[in-house]
Amino acid sequence: MPKYTDIEAVNRDLQQLPITADSRPPLADVQGWINDQELELDATLVNLGYLTPIVRATSPASHSIVRNMVTQAVLARVLRSRRHGVGNVDDSGATVSQKYYDDRLKWLNSKTHPFELPDALRTGKEQVKPGGVSFGFQPEATDRPQAEIDAGESERAWMGQVF
């Protein structure tokens, strides 16, 4: 059973082509995506020091925020799925929905942005990651002497990559 959003919330934004058992994507896939998105968001919120799940009865404002976040993330996935294989289709809806979700995650994780879940309960156990989170390739530390690097070879190409 979904904690934050449901098919009805997704269908409100897809009025012309609602999710059904026979739609593209089918109902079962979208329900799985809702579950996956809720699990991902809960894992992130736990690391940010929030008590999960965010419950509507005790945290109505925060529940509304996470409901909208999950709905937008699932909506982006539905719109991308519908676009796949169709050719040159306007992808702005999926991009806007994904940006909505991504921005709010980034704001929650920011120490300087005022965006918060205002009435959500906190655990006091925020996970602080040293140096922040990096989403690019980062070279591993190496003791390889510069003399061993061939001319034209970059140190980065020699080193293993860390995700």
Residues of the chain with pLDDT under 50: 134-142, 149, 151-163
Question: Quick one: DSSP state of residue 41?
Answer: H
- Residue 8: exposed, middle, or buried by beta-carbon count in 10 A (0-12, 13-18, 19+)? exposed
Domain stops at, among 94, 109, 124: 109
The dihedral of CA 28, 31, 33, 36: what is its sign?
Answer: negative
**Residue of 157, 40, 50, 159 lying closest to 102 (CA atoms):** 40
Residues 150 and 78 occupy one common structural domain: no
What are the backbone dihedrals phi and psi of residue 130, each rounded to the nearest 5 degrees, phi first?
-60, 130
With tokens 């919330």, the residue in question is 9
The pLDDT value given to residue 116: 93
Entry pTM: 0.73
CA-based nearest residue to 121, from 61, 161, 32: 61
The number of folded domains in the chain is 2
Give the pLDDT confidence score for residue 1 in this predicted structure.
66
Instruction: Write out pLDDT tens, residues 41-71.
Output: 999 999 999 999 999 999 999 999 999 999 9
Residue 47 falls inside a structural domain = yes
Chain mean pLDDT for the chain = 80
pLDDT at residue 136 in the model: 43
Residue 83 lies in a domain: yes
